[in-house]
Amino acid sequence: MATKIEVPQNPKDLPLALVKQMLSLATSGFGLVAALAWNELVKETINTFIKPYLPEGSKVISLALYAIIVTALAVIITLQLTKLQQTLEKNLEDRKQ
């Protein structure tokens, strides 16, 4: 997801715009690192606890289980974060009224 870079009209606003862009890039970078860490955890969990019970040469089954687990995690986490965002936005609106 690409973020539109907004160039401020007033040069005095440039430091704030720069910090906002750096924050966005840093957040994306740390998000990628976290995703890779979770990726390794799920792979190792499947290799340690599930693969020994599958027949030899069942790489496709292992990959399918991996894809299902990662997809389920992504959906659950996205739904929970969306609910949290909606709750926080509603609380903010209630305070403004």
Q: What are the boundaries of each domain within the chain?
A: 55-97
pTM, 2 dp: 0.62
pLDDT of 14 reads: 82
CA 3-72-79 angle, 5° bins: 55
Tokens at 95, concatenated: 């305070």
Condensed to tens digits (0 to 9), the pLDDT of residues 33-46 reads 999 998 999 889 88
| pLDDT for the residue 84 | 94
Q: Which residue has the higher pLDDT, 92 or 8?
A: 92
Average pLDDT over residues 77-91: 93
CA R_g for the chain: 21
> CB–CB of 62/51 below 8 Å?
yes
Q: How confident is the model at residue 83 (pLDDT cuts 50, 70, 90)?
A: very high
* Contact in structure between 17 and 7 (CB atoms under 8 Å): yes
Render pLDDT for 53-75 as a digit per residue (tens, 0 to 9).
888 878 888 888 889 998 999 89
